[in-house]
Amino acid sequence: MEMIFHYGDLYKQHFENGESIIQPRSFIFGQLTRYIEIEPTGISGIVAARFLPEGLIPFLNVPVSTLGNKSVDLVDIFGKKGKKLEQEIMQAENNIQRVKLLESFLLLRLTDPKTIDNITRACVETIFKSNGQLNVKKVAGKIKINRRSIERRFVSTVGLSPKQLSRLVRLQATLKMLEQKKFRNLTSLAYENGYYDQAHFIREFKEFTGVSPKSFYSDNLKLSGLFIAAE
- Domain boundaries of the chain, sorted by first residue: 2-113, 118-226
Tell me the CB-side half-sphere exposure of residue 54, using CA atoms within 13 A: 22
Give the model's pLDDT for residue 114: 61
Triad 25, 29, 31: Cα angle to 5°: 175
Its pTM stands at 0.76
Q: Distance (Å, rounded) from C-alpha 171 to C-alpha 209?
A: 10
Coil/strand/helix, residue 161 = coil
Q: Distance (Å, rounded) from C-alpha 46 to C-alpha 9?
A: 9
Q: Taking a C-beta distance cutoff of 8 angstroms, is the pair 213, 205 a contact?
A: yes
Stated as kind and residue range, the H or E segment containing 100 is helix 95-109
- pLDDT, tens digit (0-9, with 9 covering 90-100), for 135-154: 888 888 888 888 888 888 88
The identity of residue 184, as a single letter, is R
Q: Taking a C-beta distance cutoff of 8 angstroms, is the pair 177, 192 a contact?
A: yes
Backbone torsions φ then ψ of 52, nearest 5 degrees: -65, 160
Burial of 94 (0-12, 13-18, 19+ CB in 10 A): exposed
Helix 136-143, helix 118-129: angle, nearest 10: 120
Q: How far out from the chain centre does Cα 46 lie?
A: 16
- pLDDT, tens digit (0-9, with 9 covering 90-100), for 104-144: 999 888 766 666 678 888 999 999 999 999 888 888 888 88
Give the model's pLDDT for residue 180: 80
Q: Distance (Å, rounded) from C-alpha 38 to C-alpha 58?
A: 28
Which parts of the chain sit beneath pLDDT 50?
A: none
Give the model's pLDDT for residue 226: 54
Q: Which CATH number fits domain 118-226: 3.40.50.620, 1.20.1250.20, 1.10.1040.10, 1.10.10.60?
A: 1.10.10.60
Q: Taking a C-beta distance cutoff of 8 angstroms, is the pair 21, 11 a contact?
A: no
